[in-house]
Chains A and B, each alone.
Chain A
Amino acid sequence: MRHLSRTPAALMVCLAALCAAPGLACRPKAQGVAVQNKGSDTMVNVAQAWAETYRSVAPDVNVEVSGGGSGTGIAALTRGTVDIANASRDIKAEEAALVRQNTGRDPKDHKVGYDALAVYVHPDNPLESITFDQLSGIYREDGALVRWRQLGITVPRCTSDEIVRVSRQSSSGTYDFFRERVLNKRDFKLGSRDLNGSKEVVELVATTPCAIGYSGMGYATSHVKMLRVARRAGDPAYPPTVEATWKRTYPIARSLHMYTLGEPSGPVKAYLDWVLSAQGQRILQESGYVPVPPSAEVDR
Chain B
Amino acid sequence: MTAARDTIPVADGRRARRSFGSVAAERTIEAAIRLSGISAIVFVLAIFFFIFREAAPVLVSDEFKPLEFLFSIQWYPTSVVDVRYGTLALTAGTAGVTILAMLLAVPFGLGAAVFVSEFCGPRMKETLKIVIELLAAIPSVVWGFVALTVISRLMVQYTSAPVGVNMLNGSIVLALMSVPIIVSIGEDALKAVPDSYREAAVAMGATRLQLVFRVLLPAARNGLLAAVLLGVGRAVGETMAVLMATGHAVQIPHGILDSVRTLTANIAAELGEAPAGSAHYRVLFLTGIQLFLITFAVNLAADLAIRGVRRK
Contact = CB atoms under 8 A, between A and B. Distances in A.
A171 interface: yes
Contacts of A105: none
A31 to B, nearest CB: 31
Interface of B: 73-82, 89, 129, 132-134, 136-137, 148, 152-153, 156, 160, 162-165, 180-181, 184-185, 187-188, 243-244, 247-251, 259, 261, 269-270, 272-275
B272 A208 contact: no
A243 interface: no
Interface in A186-235: 186-187, 190-196, 200, 203-204, 207-208, 210-211
28 contacts: A2-B188, A3-B187, A3-B188, A4-B136, A6-B133, A68-B273, A69-B272, A71-B273, A72-B273, A75-B275, A159-B162, A170-B77, A170-B270, A190-B73, A190-B74, A190-B250, A192-B249, A193-B163, A193-B259, A196-B244, A196-B248, A196-B269, A204-B152, A204-B165, A207-B153, A208-B156, A208-B162, A210-B163
Contacts of B180: 4
A171 B78 contact: yes
A140 B232 CA distance: 36
B80 A185 contact: yes
A193 B249 CA distance: 5
A203 to B, nearest CB: 8
Contact of B247 (A3, A11, A185, A193): A193
A134 to B, nearest CB: 19
| 6 tightest Cβ-Cβ pairs between the two chains A and B | A171-B273, A191-B251, A3-B184, A210-B162, A193-B247, A170-B78
Given A3-B184, A7-B136, A208 B251 contact: no
Nearest to A211: B163
A203 B156 CA distance: 13
A158 interface: yes
Nearest to B73: A190
A63 to B, nearest CB: 22
Interface residues of A, number: 40
A187 B251 contact: no
Given A170-B78, A190-B89, A191-B249, A10 B137 contact: yes
Contacts of A208: 156, 162-164
Contacts of B247: 193
Nearest to B149: A203
A193 B181 CA distance: 30
B160 A160 contact: yes
A3 B79 CA distance: 48
Contact of B251 (A162, A179, A190): A190
Q: Which of B156, B162, B244 has the most CB of A within 10 A?
A: B162
A193 B162 CA distance: 12
Contacts of A169: 248, 269-270
A187 B76 contact: yes
Contacts of B248: 169, 193-196
A7 B133 contact: yes
Nearest to B247: A193
A159 B272 CA distance: 38
A298 interface: no
A4 B250 contact: no
A3 B77 CA distance: 43
B261 A4 contact: no
Contacts of B188: 2-3
B249 A207 contact: no
A68 B272 contact: yes
A47 interface: no
A21 interface: no
A77 interface: no
Given A164-B162, A169-B269, A171-B269, A194 B261 contact: yes
A17 to B, nearest CB: 14
A93 interface: no
Contact of A171 (B132, B162, B270): B270
B133 A4 contact: yes
A125 to B, nearest CB: 13
A24 interface: no
Given A191-B250, A204-B165, A159 B160 contact: yes
Given A6-B133, A187-B79, A72 B184 contact: no
A179 B76 CA distance: 13
Contacts of A193: 163, 165, 247-249, 259
A10 B136 CA distance: 11
Contacts of A75: 273, 275
Interface string A3-26: 110110011000000000000000
Nearest to B77: A170
A214 to B, nearest CB: 16
Nearest to A160: B162
B250 A207 contact: no
A196 B251 CA distance: 17
Contact of A194 (B133, B148, B269, B272): B269
Given A3-B129, A208-B156, A187 B162 contact: no
Interface string A167-185: 0011100001001000001
Nearest to A172: B273
Contacts of A194: 248-250, 261, 269
